[in-house]
Chains A and B, each alone.
Chain A
Amino acid sequence: MAYTKRLDGRKLDELRKVEAKVGVIKTAAGSAMFRMGNTIAYAAVRGPREVFPRSMAKPDTAVLRCYYDMMAFSGAGERVRPGPSRRSKEISMVTAKALEPVLDLTEFPKSGIDVFIELIQTDAGTRCAGICAAALALADAGFSMKDMVCAVAMGVIDGTVVADLDKAEEDYDKGPVADLAMAMLPRSGEVTLMQMDGEASQEHIIEAVELMKKSIKKIYEVQKKALLEKYGGVKDE
């Protein structure tokens, strides 16, 4: 039987509850909390500052480095060993790639911009929540950005395209599940992160990208609202 009714009763394009707050880590240049359902990410920006080791610095642009980390107690099952893993390093790398297109790194040559992302509670979609928090933290830090970055895990469950997979849907076992983590620039609709686990047809993948354009409106709104709460009176251009 096809997947027509979602496990938690959400509509196909409906996200879980989205919350965001900026300026949560006071000594950082910029910071944010982003929550998608039960997945909660914090992000803090440090820099622009000197790059260590110096050989990593680039003469003409800044280097954006992201550090994704799940807190030891934040997994669904046993304790996660603290510190970097192959998984976290790869996610850190794609997170930086998802954010870079909106930044103008040539503004700060030779310097480094570090974004630290910590997950305190997880229920799938952690890299996406991390990217949403990181984009907010960069905006809070005052970097000029040509667009926001919104990320969400889309899914194709037994032939049905849905928005914002949770853990229960990731683990759905009555049919095939494709988990399609994506980041998108809300104004242009361009995709800056795309990772898929599982199988989906070409048509379903494109359908997921199209559905995402609609679904992320909610994320974009919440992000803008969080920034306006701190910087009230600043108009969106």
Chain B
Amino acid sequence: MGALKMNKIMKDYILGLLSKGERMDGRKLDEFRKPIKIEYGISTKSSEGSAIVHIGETMVIAGVKMAIGKPYEDTPDEGSLTVNVELSPMASESFEPGPPNDYSIELARVTDRVVRESGMIDVNKLCIKEGEKIWMVNVDIYPMNDAGNLFDACALAALAAIKDAKMPKIENDKVNYHEKTSKGLPLKKTPISVTVIKIGKHLLVDPLVEEFNALDARLTIGIDEANNPCAIQKGGDAPLSASDIDKMITLAKEKVKELRKVL
């Protein structure tokens, strides 16, 4: 049986459940898996900050590494923040070794949008000497197990690792990686993303892999601590109406509170 046919059967099954208000794993449509759990400092000896995020069986590790570098010419007083997602085939049967595919590039870009573009870190405070020296902050994110909803798990892992980070010491203009200061990274915002997917006419959060593969449209919404959207990405083949978008943002704003509690 072809993969297309299988997808169709799975989608019909999921739609059938949704029309009764049910999901494959027994959750309500607006319910996150449990537990949602963050372990901080899982790589303290090596990294400046680190964390493991669990959402149900989904597991993502993120770590922060800092270095001293030169600022870009057009932003002489700004440090840099780089967000990267490495999609290892460890995490899923469907990932293959090799160059990144469209999905992994989008995952990395959306995570970057939620974490960096939203203005999470005050990059001016990462400037050491204007025009000469800045902190470069690298956040590397590794999905370890994809049991669904990597978008939200990756953004949460990045935020957790950034929150966990302590600036290293500078000695003779070089980073001393063996000694950290007590100073954290200059956080301006703490955006968390909630991805709402649409299958048929149904809206649901925290999709399983099967649900994600069956979606018609999705909206990943980064939401800051004042409960305002600060990053958005639409995905999927189907269009969304203004009313869909309104409902999805409302749902995301409601659900983000649960994620914020575990920070």
Contacts and interface: CB of A to CB of B under 8 A. Distances in A.
A100 interface: no
B190 interface: no
A24 B50 CA distance: 18
A52 B90 contact: no
B189 interface: no
Secondary structure call for the B interface? loop
Given A25-B90, A27-B92, A67-B97, A74 B146 contact: no
Contact of B61 (A27, A28, A38, A71): A71
Contacts of B57: 26-27
Contact of B65 (A44, A52, A79, A114): A79
Interface residues of A, number: 32
B144 A25 contact: yes
Nearest to A29: B93
Secondary structure call for the A interface? loop
B88 interface: yes
B65 A73 contact: yes
A189 interface: no
B89 A114 contact: yes
A160 interface: no
A52 B138 CA distance: 33
A42 to B, nearest CB: 7
B67 A78 contact: yes
A8 B258 CA distance: 44
Contacts of B44: 121
Contacts of B63: 71-74, 120
Give the one of A25, A38, A75 with max B CB within 10 A.
A25
B132 interface: no
6 contacts: A27-B91, A27-B147, A71-B140, A72-B84, A118-B144, A120-B61
